[in-house]
Amino acid sequence: MNRCFLFLTPLFLFFGCSDSSRPTDLPPLYPCTVTVTQGGVALADAYVELVPQDGQKYTPGATTDANGNAVMLTYGFPGAPAGKYKITVSKTIEDDFVTGTNDYGEQVTVPTNAYRLVDDRYFRADTTLHEIEVTTQKKQSTTIDVGEAVRVKLQQY
């Protein structure tokens, strides 16, 4: 009896477990990397999003690493559906932190200023200069530059 259990347990773990979080309508995904530079230098910690241009339901996105590489994820899964996309990029920072007490009496630290570090035209799909077509090829990649750095104050807390 123990031998049977030991034999069947690996089979159950292999065949019995499926990723129920994957949407049933999520199409096949293909490896896609977008490398972002700003003024010719790798841009780390920027958020890159592929905005579908051909009716695709899902919007792939990722944050760039220290080398400016964003490996696209769709609904948390690696890759992007085949299709045409506009590439948008955003990066913000917050500074001038202050410590205070919230409505619940808890001590909190909040920023007083936020700044956008990428020109606004690259944040919007209707004004970005960059596009990509993801195909069924083995790997899709492109490098884009978002111009010189900017520092535009967004809001004051």
Question: 15-61 pLDDT, tens per residue?
Answer: 445 456 888 989 999 999 999 999 999 999 999 999 999 888 999 99
Structure tokens at 20: 């129920």
Domain count within the chain: 1
Q: What pLDDT, on the 0 to 100 scale, is given for residue 133?
A: 94
Give the CA distances from residue 127 to residues 48, 61, 119, 120, 131, in Å, rounded to whole numbers and listed in that order: 15, 18, 11, 9, 11
> Using an 8 Å Cβ cutoff, are 148 and 38 in contact?
yes
Q: What is the 3-state secondary structure (H, E, C) of 41-89?
A: EECCCCEEEEEECCCCCCCCEEECCCCCEEECEECCEECEECEEEEEEE
In a domain, 128, yes or no: yes
In a domain, 112, yes or no: yes
When comparing pLDDT for 128 and 139, which is higher? 128
* Domain of 61, in residue numbers: 26-156
In a domain, 79, yes or no: yes
- CA dist., res. 45 & res. 32, Å (int): 18
| pTM recorded for the entire structure | 0.77
In a domain, 12, yes or no: no
In a domain, 3, yes or no: no
CATH number of the CATH domain containing 121 = 2.60.40.10
Residue 117: beta bridge partners? none
In a domain, 14, yes or no: no
Q: Which residue has the tokens 């220290």?
A: 66
pLDDT in tens, 75-102: 999 999 999 999 999 999 888 777 888 8
> Using an 8 Å Cβ cutoff, are 60 and 48 in contact?
no
- CA dist., res. 98 & res. 82, Å (int): 46
In a domain, 34, yes or no: yes
In a domain, 17, yes or no: no
HSE, CB side, 13 Å, CA atoms: give it for residue 56. 23
Band the pLDDT of 137: cuts 50, 70, 90.
confident
